[in-house]
């Protein structure tokens, strides 16, 4: 019935417009009016009664001096509007300070920020001693001032001892943002004793200047179009180990050897890669609300005019009639994360459906 209505509408449009020159063309109602201003005529200024007390009248829309004169001919193509530059002047990297310390906020994903921050340290001569991309952490080796970039050493005011830095990149409060914090420790030159990491900064001025230098470098790198390796981005959020097993009840469960933040990010990306529609989500509960009967939403795949006219796109009633709604639930257990598929809070999904979905997620993780 819907397709018949669409065909009837199209037939009515074609029959009404065929042979009707009053609709289209230069004299039609729907003609191109982009060059109408070329035919505008100048009129005398408005006259007001003598003795009237008026404020000076300024033109609301003054005509530019470079406008074409009456001798111009041909159609005029309206230029595209210029891009706003206000957003381009704002930096994607800013420093925040509180009583508990100082950190850098990046309007970038944690994976992209991690790669850029790591690059800053290696560019300035730091050697990476320990690295855990899955948790967004790395630690530099003990190094003297002679091993680091002279400009950075001068700004940091490093002495003759050795310095080590621990860096942590975490997901920010807002989605697709990151927070970068660091902690430095020092020891006398030639002393090989290990130094424990303090709970709070022991070198406030050194950490402050190092964050300032990092922000400057990241802003410059972004202005120059610095890119991020997609492989590194995938490695950052990917759990180090993913296994599909069975719970005590026999229901399949996906085990992720990572923390909740990385698991939440990587499962969301795996759902999209598995072409599963996420209708809603609740990060505080650790739940993705999915509809297995629909593919993942892609903004670029919207139906065109004729597809909508002929009813190719399903309406809300059709979507509701065939909906297969489930909950992908993430639960922190013993330092890792378990992913299960439930029908609702009190009902597990059928074993075959859960195994199919969790298998797709496993294949798209890592």
pLDDT tens track for 162-196:
899 999 998 876 667 888 999 999 888 778 888 88
pTM: 0.44
Q: Does some domain include residue 98?
A: yes
Which position has the higher pLDDT, 239 or 124? 124
Q: Are 202 and 107 contained in the same domain?
A: yes
Residue-wise pLDDT for 116-148, tens only, equals: 899 899 888 899 999 888 778 999 999 888 888
| Mean local confidence (pLDDT), 60-76 | 62
Q: Are residues 271 and 340 in the same domain?
A: yes
Query: pLDDT band at 305, cuts 50/70/90?
Result: very low
CA distance 208 to 102: 7
Mean per-residue pLDDT for 197-203? 83
- Please check whether residues 267 and 328 belong to one and the same domain: yes
Does residue 109 surpass a pLDDT of 80? yes
State yes or no: pLDDT of 301 exceeds 70.
Answer: no
- Going from the C-alpha of 171 to that of each of 65, 106, 114, 137, 165, the distances in angstroms are 52, 10, 10, 12, 20
Of 176, 194, 229, the residue at which a domain comes to its end is 229
Residue 24 lies in a domain: no
Do residue 220 and residue 196 come from a single domain?
A: yes
Query: Is residue 340, in this structure, part of any structural domain at all?
Result: yes
Mean pLDDT of the chain: 77
Q: Decide: 166 and 197 in contact? Cβ < 8 Å.
A: yes
Can you give the pLDDT at residue 230? 44
pLDDT in tens, 207-236: 888 999 999 888 887 776 655 544 445 555
Same domain assignment for residues 191 and 244: no
**CB-based contact 111:269 (threshold 8 Å):** no
Mention every residue, 6+ apart, whose C-beta is less than 8 A from residue 70: 38
**Cα Rg, the chain, nearest whole Å:** 32
Using pLDDT thresholds of 50, 70 and 90, give the confidence band for residue 303: low
Distance CA 275, CA 364 (A): 11
* Residue 114 to residue 106: CA distance in whole angstroms: 10
Residue 174 forms part of a structural domain: yes
How do residues 280-293 score in pLDDT, each as one tens digit? 888 888 999 999 88
Q: Is 49 or 255 the better-scoring residue by pLDDT?
A: 255
- What is the domain-level CATH number for residue 251? 3.30.310.170
| Domain contains 335 | yes
pLDDT for residue 312: 55
* pLDDT score of 165: 93
Domain boundary among 173, 208, 229: 229
Range of the domain at 294: 238-299+318-363
**Contacting residues for 306 by C-beta, under 8 A, at least 6 apart:** 10
| CATH number of the domain enclosing 220 | 3.30.310.80
Distances (CA, A) of 163 to 167, 184, 196, 202: 13, 7, 13, 12
Q: What was the pLDDT predicted at 166? A: 94
Tally of CB atoms within 10 A around 320: 11
Say which residues have a Cβ less than 8 Å from residue 145's Cβ, sequence separation at least 6: 153, 158, 159, 160, 163
Higher pLDDT among residues 160 and 355, named by residue: 355
Q: Kindly tell me if the per-residue pLDDT of 87 is higher than 50.
A: no
The b/e string for 91-112 (b: 16+ C-beta within 10 A; e otherwise) is eebeeeeeeebbbbbbbbbbbb
Is 64 inside any structural domain?
Answer: no
Residue 157, pLDDT > 70, answer yes
86 within a domain of the structure (yes/no): no
The residue out of 188, 211, 229 marking a domain boundary is 229
């Amino acid at each position: 019935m819907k397709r018949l209505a669409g065909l009837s509408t199209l037939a009515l449009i074609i029959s009404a417009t065929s042979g009707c020159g009053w609709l289209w063309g230069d004299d039609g109602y729907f003609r191109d009016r982009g060059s109408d201003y070329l035919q505008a005529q100048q009129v005398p200024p408005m006259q007001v009664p003598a003795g009237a007390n008026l404020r000076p009248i300024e033109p609301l829309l003054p005509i530019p001096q470079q406008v074409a004169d009456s001798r111009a001919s041909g159609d005029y193509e309206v230029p595209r509007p210029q891009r706003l530059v206000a957003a381009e002047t704002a930096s994607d990297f800013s420093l925040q300070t509180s009583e508990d310390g100082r950190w850098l906020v990046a309007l970038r994903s944690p994976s992209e920020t991690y790669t850029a921050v790591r690059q800053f340290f290696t560019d300035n001569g730091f050697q990476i001693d320990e690295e855990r991309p899955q948790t967004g952490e790395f630690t530099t080796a003990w190094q003297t001032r002679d091993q680091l970039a002279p400009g950075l050493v001068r700004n940091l005011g490093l002495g003759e001892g050795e310095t080590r830095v621990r860096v942590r990149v975490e997901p920010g409060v807002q989605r697709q943002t990151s927070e970068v914090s660091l902690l430095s420790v020092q020891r006398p030159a030639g002393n090989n004793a290990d130094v424990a990491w303090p709970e709070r900064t022991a070198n406030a001025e050194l950490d402050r200047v190092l964050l300032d230098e990092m922000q400057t470098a990241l802003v410059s790198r972004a202005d120059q179009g610095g890119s991020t390796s997609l492989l590194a981005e995938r490695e950052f959020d990917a759990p180090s180990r993913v296994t599909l097993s069975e719970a005590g009840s026999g229901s399949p469960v996906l085990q992720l050897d990572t923390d909740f933040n990385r698991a939440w990010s990587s499962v969301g990306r795996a759902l999209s890669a598995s072409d599963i529609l996420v209708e809603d989500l609740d990060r505080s509960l650790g739940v993705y609300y999915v509809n297995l009967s629909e593919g993942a939403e892609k903004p670029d795949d919207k139906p065109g005019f004729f597809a909508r006219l002929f009813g190719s796109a399903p309406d809300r009633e059709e979507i509701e009639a065939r909906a297969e709604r489930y909950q992908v639930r993430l639960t922190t257990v013993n330092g890792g994360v378990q992913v299960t598929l439930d029908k609702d809070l009190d009902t597990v999904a059928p074993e075959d459906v859960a195994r199919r979905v969790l298998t797709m997620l496993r294949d798209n993780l890592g």
